[in-house]
Amino acid sequence: MNMQEAANRADSILDDTFSQVHPAVRWTHGPTTTGSCDVTRRRAVMTIVSAQRRGSFLGVVDRSWRNSGYRMKSINSDPDVPAMFAQTKDGFGVSLIVGGEGQVFFEVDSPCVEESEVAESTTKATAPTYEGMEHIPRPHLRGQG
């Protein structure tokens, strides 16, 4: 597997995760980064997930990951900044971190793979994208969360 194939696999992991969240949330891409032999894809949730709904949201993601055969590595149950870390059977690290103002961030890190060029994700974001994908605002879209 090369870095582009790993990036595609990371996109698939994220797509599968988001497909399990109902009602759906809107998200935007975070920056894609590469190391010497790995690639990371990121997404930021732009729908406001209220503190009251956050536990339910995390529960849906937790069940989705477990049903997909992911091994849960760590769960931080802090009420303000919870996080979950898992690993797929093929060695990809998957994380969900709740940051400032309750914004939810997803990240998928590949295992070490063959070096190659990596294109930006072809998965269409469901919220506006931001220049350079580095200055993403806080969640501001209303939804069911």
Instruction: Tell whether 129 is covered by a domain.
Output: no
Domain count, the chain: 1
Percent of the chain with pLDDT strictly greater than 70: 89
Q: Which residue has the higher pLDDT, 141 or 50?
A: 50
User: Three-state DSSP class for 111?
Assistant: coil
Instruction: Name residue 38's amino acid.
Output: D
The reported pLDDT for the residue numbered 80 is 86
Tell me the H-state helices in the chain. 3-19, 51-67
The span from the CA of 119 to the CA of 86, in Å, is 25
Instruction: Tell whether 141 is covered by a domain.
Output: no
Instruction: Tell whether 77 is covered by a domain.
Output: yes
Instruction: Tell whether 68 is covered by a domain.
Output: yes
Confidence of residue 144 (pLDDT cuts 50, 70, 90): very low
Report pTM: 0.90
Whether the pLDDT of residue 142 is over 80: the answer is no
Q: What is the domain-level CATH number for residue 93?
A: 3.30.310
Instruction: Tell whether 40 is covered by a domain.
Output: yes
Whether the pLDDT of residue 140 is over 80: the answer is no
Average pLDDT over residues 46-64: 93
The reported pLDDT for the residue numbered 100 is 84
**pLDDT tens-place string over residues 118-127:** 999 999 999 8
Instruction: Tell whether 124 is covered by a domain.
Output: no
Instruction: Tell whether 94 is covered by a domain.
Output: yes
The reported pLDDT for the residue numbered 133 is 52
